[in-house]
Amino acid sequence: MSNYPKPPFKPQQQAVPGAQYRMDPQPDCGEKTYKGSGRLANKIALITGADSGIGRAVAIAFAREGADVAISYLDEHEDAKETARWVEAAGRQCVLLPGDLSRQPHCAAIVNDTVEAFGRIDILVNNAAFQMTHETLEEISDEEWVKTFDVNVTAMFRICKAALPHMAEGSSIINTSSVNSDAPNPTLLCYATTKGAIANFTAGLAQLLGKRGIRVNSVAPGPIWTPLIVSTMPEESVKNFGGNTPLGRPGQPVEVAPIYVLLASDEGSYISGERYGVTGGKPIL
Ligand code: NAD
Ligand code: MG
């Protein structure tokens, strides 16, 4: 058994999008532990939301498996530089792509910049997301509803569409969904709705792209200790975070990364259209 942190956690609240370097305890993104074995040798990956949390763990794992990595993030420059430091320490190249994915031109720009730097895209990980906790429907503004869909769903469509001409047969797209995709938390109504859309989009797109030899899958994490949590959830939920899973604790980002490696790798060549749970024992059926 691991000795990863269990609740109760110290009270902590941050402004959106949150800074990983200010969290206590620090999330474990595999900085000191993830061991690669050449499973993604010389592949090119574009990962959104990879400054922190799950995206950082995926970036570190991909780099240690031999991939060069382009990292999109909103504006958390300190966190992004730390991710880049780990990618480069693995002997791989890293390109940093800050900016707001709710804007259509930025979705196209991150693809163009990745292709300019590396020539193609073999692995696309759509992982950036926005969420906010609300107790009532009336609290959710029209602007927030639209923004959540823009960041979580529409950006995914736009980035896939822009990236496709640069993705050859054998490439892989991985979208981050959530346990909320089929077990919605009512206080995350809008976010949970986008996560259901992502799981559905993934299953449809996998069928569209099958003939081109491109695989598409989604990952549905349970509670994972990341800046998203401390910047969007009330203090009481942060304190008890992950305590209601069978394992009795939140997952760490490093514990989610291995499934992304499998789905990105050539070993995953017959896996497409699926949704993989990483939930600490809470079933998704
Ligand atoms: P995180 O805060 O570390 O990562 C999310 C990233 O999205 C941020 O770092 C931010 O740079 C980026 N982002 C947000 N808004 C953006 C915008 N407008 N433009 C560009 N980038 C933007 O948190 P995380 O928990 O690692 O989240 C990664 C993914 O995992 C998300 O899709 C999230 O929904 C999903 N997820 C997380 C949990 C959890 O418990 N932490 C559970 C299920 C699913
Ligand atoms: Mg971040």
> Strand order of the sheet with strand 275-278?
94-98, 68-73, 44-48, 123-126, 172-176, 215-221, 275-278
| Residue 4 within a domain | no
The answer to whether position 8 is within a domain reads no
Q: Is residue 111 part of a domain?
A: yes
| Span 203-244, pLDDT tens digits | 999 999 999 999 999 999 999 999 999 999 999 999 999 999
- Domain range for residue 97? 20-272
Ligand 1 proximity of 279 Cβ (cutoff 6 Å): no
Q: What is the pLDDT of residue 2?
A: 76
Q: Is the pTM here over 0.95, yes or no? A: yes
| CATH number for 135 | 3.40.50.720
Establish if 14 belongs to a structural domain. no
214 is a domain residue: yes
| Residues of the chain with confidence (pLDDT) below 70 | 1
**Which atom from ligand 1 is nearest to the alpha carbon of 127?**
32
Structural domain count of the chain: 1
- The residues annotated with a catalytic role in the active site are 191
Q: Could you tell me the distance, in angstroms and rounded to a whole number, from the CA of residue 176 to the centre of ligand 2? A: 15
255: region left, alpha or beta (phi > 0 left; psi from -120 to 50 alpha): alpha
With a 6 A CB cut-off, is 148 part of the ligand 1 pocket?
no
pLDDT of 1 reads 55
The ligand 1 atom at the shortest distance from the C-alpha of residue 241 is 40
Centre of ligand 2 to C-alpha 18, Å, is 6
Q: Concatenate the DSSP letters of all residues of 44-65 into one string.
A: EEEEET-SSHHHHHHHHHHHHT
In a domain? residue 264 = yes
Asked if residue 139 is part of any domain, the answer here is: yes
Ligand number, closest to the Cα atom of 185: 1
Q: Is residue 3 part of a domain?
A: no
